[in-house]
Amino acid sequence: MQELFWILLSAMVVNNFTLSLFLGLCPFMGVSSRVETALRMGAANIFVLTITSICAWFLNTFVLAEAPYLRLISFIVVIASLVQIVEMVIKKLSPTLFRQLGIFLPLITTNCAILGLAIFQTNRGYGLLEGLFFAIGAGLGLTLALVLMASIRENSELASVPEVAKGTGLTLIIAGSLSLAFMGFAGLLSAA
Amino acid sequence: MRETTRQEDLLRGIWRENPVLIQLLGLCPALAVTNSVENALAMGLATFFVLCGSSLLVSTLKKLIPHEVRISTYILIIATFVTVADMTLEAVVPEIHKALGAFIALIVVNCMILGRQEAFASKRPVGRALLDAVGTGVGFIIALLLMGSLRELLGNGSLLGISLFGPSYEPWVVMILPPGGFFALGALILALGWIQQRRAPRSQPQEWPEGVADREAA
Amino acid sequence: MNGALSVRPEVPAWRLITTMALAGVLAGALIVIVHQSTQPTILRYKAEMLRRAVNQVLKQPERYETLYIYRGALIASVPEGVQSKGLDRLYVGYGADDQAVGFAIAAAEPGFQDIVRLIFGYDAMAGRLLGMKVLESKETPGLGDKIEKDAVFVSQFDGAATPLVGVKGGRGSDDPGEIDMITGATISSRAVIRIINNALERSVPLIAAREASR
């Protein structure tokens, strides 16, 4: 139990996917200008990450045990198709949910956080349960980073910023400061 | 279709439309593995190989790939080249492979590569596609090397592992840590923006505040 | 290519599926070929790295062999039909007189930033460590990574009495069970000590049972 808790918190804050591993930067730079959107994007991410984790575990355990060199190619194909299927299912079952999360799903498939999760999970030899905690932690971490970034940007829009610094430059510097702040979480989980 | 010259195809990606610094594509590797020049170079070369290989193959096979499944086919081709690059690096330079870790596999989702296939290689002759891939790939390597040198120089006081500032230099350790990646890229982009702004007043002075134009004139 | 507005003809589904299947088979074949040609080099390198690490922490034994942990016991060879791949293992080194000089034990636990993986040599007769080597860590450069790079810190584990106790750095303690922790990297140093102590707690009963049954 303690180990699962460690995996969750490690992926969420100590080794935050976006701020310390640079995964999922596209939505972070692109979508994160409103808190509301950031929250939805985060929710969609948690969802896809969880599915990916189960999927990767299944592939690793039952399909790729004898052929690990085909891992990358199977991961990318299976994840992309699966997300598409999930998208269709949600569209059929719950149009409301689809309207809220759906538009983000195709965006997420090509997001490196998803493939990154599958690869990290494999490299570390996580089982099904560990993988699930890892996925949820990573998803929560992404959401946290997105929401923090969005709330800062909502405010910085009103600030008077030199013309040259508007846009990506400023976003990157803010991201750097957030990343610096998140470094403070290191050591949190090393109870000695 | 607007025709571009060969020279344009080759040179465009290197600076004017640099994938990382101007188009902001492939940021993940540009930030994650540029904590030393060596890692940056290895990542740059691996990406270069994948990009050239994929562009060559996609543009050769473009007539055979049905439009409906083109993206899936591109991804399949890219993933194949990435796996090949991954194994080759592990066999030839295992130390660097270990340092880059999962980020080699993540070349697959580098949107720069898929973008070149969709926007260029799938529509042009093989030679042009290769020129474009070489240009874009070199541009990517240049951006990574810039980041890598900046971070290694400040964060470790060295370049390619050779110490430059002597033992009295106190390294800015933060530059080789994750926040340093954001700061370095942010600084590069701000500097580029500033240079462009300094140049701009000559052609359209009315757009800029008086101070800038005055200084330029003086 | 000339008429950008020309109507794209409908492609039958079987052609899409055939194309994808063909592409998949070709991609798979290429990967398998490269895999076959690179795999020996990769495996050789990994084995060489492991050999070097084991030899280093066991202080260059005459030879060493692998022991698998199977059903709560140490065995030298895996029974028929059991996959050795997923089993935990440790390595026993022998001196020139064919006497066991010590056991090399690998372990991994959270450090300051992420998991720290290390291997250490343990002399079961004397209850002392032979040496320690960090295999993998992401500790802070310049501070936490001293657990790997600081020769003074690392050399303290040679001959240290177990269980290890960490003490504040800078005192130059002479007690063989006390490890001077690195100033500015207390958590990383403490993690190394904890990893070794926990691994010993798990392995010593196994080693004792093996010695008793001989």
pLDDT in tens, B5-40: 888 888 888 888 888 888 888 888 889 989 889 999
Residue of B nearest to A15 (CA): B178
Distance from CA of A48 to the nearest CA of C (A): 24
- DSSP string across chain B: -----HHHHHHHTTTTT-TTTTT--SHHHHHHS-SSHHHHHHHHHHHHHHHHHHHHHHHHHTTTS-GGGHHHHHHHHHHHHHHHHHHHHHHH-HHHHHHHGGGTGGGGG-HHHHHHIIIIITTS-HHHHHHHHHHHHHHHHHHHHHHHHHHHHHHHSEETTEE-S-TT----GGGGSHHHHHHHHHHHHHHHHHHHHHHGGGT-GGGS-HHHHHHHH-
Query: Which domain does A77 fall in, by range?
Result: 7-180
- Supply the mean pLDDT for chain C: 85
Is A160 among the domain residues?
Answer: yes
| Chain centroid to CA B9 | 16
**Hey, which residues does C64 pair with through a beta bridge?**
C93
| pLDDT score recorded for residue B201 | 64
SS (H, E, C) A123-186: HCCCCHHHHHHHHHHHHHHHHHHHHHHHHHHHHHCCCCCCHHHCCHHHHHHHHHHHHHHHHHHC
Contacts of C168 in chain A (CB under 8 A): none
Neighbours of B193 (CB within 10 A): 18
Number of domains within chain C = 2
Quick one: average pLDDT of B174-202? 87
The amino acid occupying position C179 is I
Residues of B in contact with C4 (CB under 8 A): 1
Residue of B nearest to C140 (CA): B177
* Same domain (yes/no): C23, C115: no
* Residues C103 and C183 placed together within one structural domain of the fold: yes
Q: Is residue C165 part of a domain?
A: yes
C154 in a structural domain = yes
- Does residue C40 share a domain with residue C113? no
Residue A22 near residue B43, CB atoms below 8 Å: no
Task: Answer whether residue C73 is part of any domain.
Answer: no
> How far is the alpha carbon of C174 from chain B, nearest alpha carbon, in Å?
30
Contact present, A8 and A101 (Cβ < 8 Å):
no
Contact partners for chain C, using 3 or more CB pairs closer than 8 A, are A, B
ipTM, 2 decimals? 0.87
How much is the average pLDDT of A83-108? 76
Which amino acid is residue C198, in one-letter code? N
Is residue B31 a contact partner of residue B177, using CB atoms and an 8 Å limit?
no
Asked if residue C88 belongs to a domain, the reply is no
Mean pLDDT, residues C28-43 taken together? 92
Strand C128-136 versus strand C115-123 pairing type: antiparallel
Are C49 and C108 within one domain?
Answer: no
Closest C-alpha among C81, C49, C86 to residue C69: C86
Residue in C31, C32, C112 nearest the CB of A186: C112
| Contact flag B174-A77 (C-beta cutoff 8 Å) | no
The answer as to whether A1 is a domain residue is: no
Q: What pTM does this model have? A: 0.85
Q: Identify the residue whose tokens are 């033992």.
A: B167
* C206 is a domain residue: yes
Distance CA B103, CA B82 (A): 11
List the structure tokens of B113: 């590569």
Cβ distance of A186 and C191 shorter than 8 Å: no
Which residue among A6, A124, A186 sits closest to C113, beta carbon to beta carbon? A186
Rounded average pLDDT over A77-90: 80
DSSP 8-state code for residue C95: -
Please say if the pLDDT value at position A125 is more than 50.
yes
Supply the pLDDT for residue C169.
67
Looking at the domain assignment, is residue A186 inside a domain? no
- Least reliable range by pLDDT among B119-128, C3-12, C43-52: C3-12
Residues 103-142 (A) with a CB less than 8 A from some CB of C: 124
Residue A167 Cα, gap to closest chain C Cα (Å): 31
Spatial contact of C178 and C193, defined as CB atoms under 8 Å apart? no
Residue A80 burial (C-beta neighbours within 10 Å; 0-12, 13-18, 19+): middle
| Domain of C51, in residue numbers | 10-57
DSSP A12: I
User: Which residues are within 8 A (CB) of B125 and not within 5 positions of it... i.e. 6 or more apart?
Assistant: B59
Question: In this structure, is residue A51 part of a structural domain?
Answer: yes
* pLDDT at position C4: 47
* pLDDT band, residue B212 (cuts 50/70/90): very low
Q: Residue A192 is nearest to which of C32, C115, C194, comparing CB atoms?
A: C194
* Three-class DSSP category at A191: coil
If one compares B197 and B2, the residue with the highest pLDDT of the two is: B197
Q: Is A192 close to C113, i.e. CB distance below 8 A?
A: no
Q: Which of A127-131, B78-82, C66-70, C119-123 has the lowest mean pLDDT?
A: C66-70
Same-domain check for residues C149 and C206: yes
Report, as an integer, the average pLDDT of C51-74: 88
On whether both C41 and C124 belong to a single domain, the answer is no
Structure confidence at residue B210 (pLDDT)? 47
pLDDT above 60: residue B85: yes
Contact between residue B21 and residue B192 where contact means Cβ atoms under 8 Å apart: yes
Domain count, chain A: 1
Output the CA torsion sign for C21, C22, C25, C27.
negative
CB B32 within 8 A of CB B42: no
**C119 φ/ψ sector (left φ>0, alpha ψ -120 to 50, else beta):** beta
Residue among C5, B209, B58 nearest A160 (CA): B209
Give mean pLDDT, residues B62-87.
Answer: 88
Nearest one of B113, C29, C28 to A73, comparing CA atoms: C28
Question: Helices A71-93 and C13-57 sit at what angle, rounded to 10 degrees?
Answer: 130
Dihedral class, residue B162 (left if φ above 0, else alpha if ψ from -120 to 50, else beta): beta
Q: What is the DSSP letter of C84?
A: S
Q: What is the pLDDT of residue C132?
A: 93
Asked if A27 and A41 touch (Cβ cutoff 8 Å), the reply is yes
Q: Helix C13-57 to helix B70-92 angle, to the nearest 10 degrees?
A: 20
Contact B43, B144 (CB under 8 A): yes
pLDDT above 70 for A134: yes
**Residue C203 covered by a domain:** yes
Q: If you average pLDDT over each of B129-138, B151-160, C205-214, which comes out highest?
A: B129-138
In a domain, A2, yes or no: no
CA distance A11 to A144: 12
Q: Mind listing the pLDDT tens digit for each residue in C139-154?
A: 887 788 888 888 888 9
Beta-carbon neighbour count of residue C97 at 10 Å? Answer: 7
Give residue-wise pLDDT tens across range C188-213.
Answer: 899 999 999 999 999 988 888 888 87
